[in-house]
């Protein structure tokens, strides 16, 4: 099995002055569980297989047409698409955008609601429809139970080590291959 240090250092290098969160390291370890040759073979079969670091995520405001950044301008998060067809996604505001939310137990109901709204977390399975350029994500569970049991048609395209999700009109996420 390859050393875990280089991928962890790579993630840390993109977040100067901060170490990777426990969740980020746990998701990275999950993604690294298969032996390297099997992971490379799976990537050849499906180029979305891997661990992807979220670098941008925006949605278009329906009234103004402006881009809104629900997870901040510099979101923190990972999307993991594994070779067995499983997907794990967690996106949140970076620690710099947290505004003291580490004391969540003392937050008002309104502030607690806002904290949850600034999180995207779900897991399930996926298939690739390359002909349509769509990932079909079968959501088994999500944080706020709005997508649980649904199939999400997620437009995607690959640009080198970037995975671009969304239609580019109403929403878009840009991810960089972390492993």
Mean pLDDT of the chain: 81
pLDDT bracket for residue 110 (50, 70, 90): confident
Q: Are strands 50-60 and 134-142 parallel, antiparallel or unpaired?
A: unpaired
Cβ–Cβ < 8 Å for 56, 172: yes
- The answer on pLDDT for 15 being more than 80 is no
pLDDT bracket for residue 5 (50, 70, 90): very low
d(CA 173, CA 55): 8
SS3 55: strand
> Under 8 Å CB-to-CB from 6, ≥6 apart: which residues?
none
Structure tokens at 65: 């047409």
d(CA 147, CA 149): 6
Closest CA to 175 of 167, 166, 102: 166
Residues 18-71 have pLDDT tens digits of: 555 676 666 666 666 654 555 455 445 688 999 999 999 999 999 999 999 999
Region 125-146: mean pLDDT is 94
pLDDT at 96: 60
Distances (CA, A) of 92 to 40, 51, 72: 29, 16, 8
The kind and range of the H/E element at 43 are helix 36-45
Q: Which of 1-5, 67-71, 131-135, 147-151 has the lowest mean pLDDT?
A: 1-5
For helices 5-13 and 22-32, the axis angle rounded to 10 degrees is 140
> Under 8 Å CB-to-CB from 177, ≥6 apart: which residues?
50, 51, 52, 53, 161, 162, 163
d(CA 29, CA 130): 28
- The answer on pLDDT for 6 being more than 60 is no
pTM: 0.70
């Amino acid at each position: 099995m390859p050393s875990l240090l280089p991928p962890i250092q790579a993630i840390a290098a993109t977040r100067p002055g901060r170490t990777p969160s426990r969740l980020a390291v746990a998701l990275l370890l999950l993604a690294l569980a298969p032996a390297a040759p099997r992971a490379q073979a799976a990537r050849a079969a499906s180029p979305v297989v891997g661990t992807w670091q979220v670098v941008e995520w925006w949605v278009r405001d329906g009234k103004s047409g402006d881009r809104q950044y629900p997870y901040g301008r510099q979101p923190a998060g990972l999307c993991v698409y594994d070779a067995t067809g499983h997907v794990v996604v967690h996106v949140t505001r970076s620690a710099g955008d947290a505004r003291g939310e580490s004391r969540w137990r003392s937050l008002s109901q309104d502030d607690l609601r806002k904290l949850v709204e600034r999180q995207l977390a779900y897991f399930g399975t996926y298939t690739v429809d390359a002909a349509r350029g769509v990932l079909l994500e079968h959501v088994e569970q999500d944080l706020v139970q709005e997508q649980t049991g649904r199939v999400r048609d997620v437009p995607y395209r690959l640009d080198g080590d970037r995975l671009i999700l969304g239609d580019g009109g109403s929403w878009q996420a840009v991810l960089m291959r972390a492993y």
